[in-house]
Structure 1
C-alpha cells in the first residue's frame, strides 16, 4: 500500500504535475497544496458524514455545535445523545442514523479504525460502505485524509469534478471523462485530487477550517 506523508508529499506533487500540463500550471500559480490530513478516529468520520451533500460551512457549523456540547465525539458519547440533542446540533434524521450506526459498529467491535491502517483500500471500503449512510465518497475521503493512501479519485466530489473542468478548460465534465483523464496519474490520483482541490479553493476563495 502506497501512502503519502509530510516527508514525501511535495516530491509526489512534483511527480504528478510532471504528467499533466494543467496540474503543472496549478503548482506554478498557487504553489503546493496543503497536506490535508485528519486523525484516524471516530470524530473525523462524524465530520466527514456531516460534510455529505452540504456546504463545508454547514458541516463545520454542525460539527462545532456538537463539539461545543460534548467535546470530542466518541461512539459512547454519540450513543448517549437523544434525537433532540442531535437535532440541536443541526443533525438531520438521516445523519443521526448514520453516526449512530457507525458508533454501534465500533462499540460492538465490528469495525476497527486502527486495524484499517494495515488493510488494503478495497477492504477498508467494503467495511465502511457496509454501514448505512457511508458510500464511496465518504470511504474515499477517509482513505485519503485519514490513511494517506495515494490512489483515491472521488468522482462523487463536486469540487474535484468542477476543478478538473476549470484546470483543463473543458466546457463540461463527466465521471467517465474525469476517470480517463486521471488514468495516467495512477498510482497517485490522491495527489492529483489535492492539487485540483487546491486550485478550486484558491479560485473560489473557500475557507477550509478542518
Structure 2
C-alpha cells in the first residue's frame, strides 16, 4: 500500500499567510484537485537505487526498470544487490553506468562504509553531503531523497526545473535568480517541502490564473509561433 508525503492545513495556512501569491496558487490547486498526494519511498536504501534508476528517463520507463529489478532480486536490499553482478542489474533495462553506481552503493552499505541509519539522523545539510558522496548522486537527487523518503519538512530545490517554472508562473519572473530563490526559501521556511508540492502542481497543470510561464521564448518556440501566425494569415487570405 503506497504512503504519501504527510502535511496538514497548518503548513498551507502558514505559507498562505507569509506569501499572498503562493496562497492564491495553493487555493487554486486545492479547489481543483484537493490535497496533494505524492508517494514516498519505504526505506533509504531502496530509495537511493530508485532515484538512480530514474535519472534522465521517463516516469514510465523508471517504473518498468524498477519492477524488473524487484522481480530479478526478489527484494531490493543491500545483500541481494551486492550479490548481483552489474550485468544482471543492467539486464533490467538500466545503463551499465547506473548498474555500477548501484553496485558501489550496495558495497559501501554492506561494508559499513556508509551508515544509512546515521544519515537519517543528520540535519539536512549533513545528510545531503553524505548522500552526495555516493557515485551517481548529486545535490538534486539528495534533496529529493530528503523530501520523498525521509520526509524532511523544509526542502526546496534550486536545481529543480519544475520548481523554477512554478515560481515563474506564480511570481511572473522571466528568470528566477539565486538571490530571489533564497528569499522565497526563507519566506517558506519551515514548510519548504509543502511549498515544493504546490509549485510542482502549478508547473504541471492548468490552474485558473496560473496558466502562463513567463520565461522568454526559445528560438524554436519563436519560430513555431511565427509559422503558426503565417499559416493563419495564409488561411485567412485564401478565403
TM beyond 0.5: yes
* 2:166 corresponds to: 163
Contact kept in structure 2, 1:17 and 1:192, CA below 8 Å: no
RMSD: 2.3
Provide the residue aligned with 2:237 in structure 1. Answer: none
Q: Report if aligned partners of 2:44, 2:150 keep a CA contact under 8 Å in 1.
A: no
Structure 2, unaligned runs of 5 or more: 208-239
Is 1:113 matched with 2:113? no
- Are 1:142 and 2:142 an aligned pair? no
Q: Deviations over 1:122-179 (max 9, x none)?
A: 2212221112111111111111122222222212222212222222233333444433
Uncovered stretches (5+) of structure 1, i.e. residues with no partner: 205-210
Matches within 5 A, 1:1-210: 6=6, 8-31=7-30, 32-34=35-37, 36-203=39-206
Question: Which of these two proteins has the greater Rg computed from alpha carbons?
Answer: 2
Q: RCO (CA 8 Å, sep 6+): is it higher in 1 or 2?
A: 1
Aligned length: 199
Secondary structure, in 3 states, of the residue corresponding to 2:41? coil
Q: How much does 1:54 deviate?
A: 2.9
Q: TM-score, normalised by structure 1?
A: 0.82
Paired residues of 1:76 and 1:107 also in contact (CA < 8 A): yes
Q: TM-score, normalised by structure 2?
A: 0.73
Alpha-carbon distance in structure 1 between the residues aligned to 2:17 and 2:75 = 40
Cα distance, 1:66–1:195 mapped onto 2, change above 3 Å: same
8 Å Cα contact 1:40-1:113 kept in structure 2 = no
How far is the alpha carbon of 1:199 from its aligned partner? 2.5
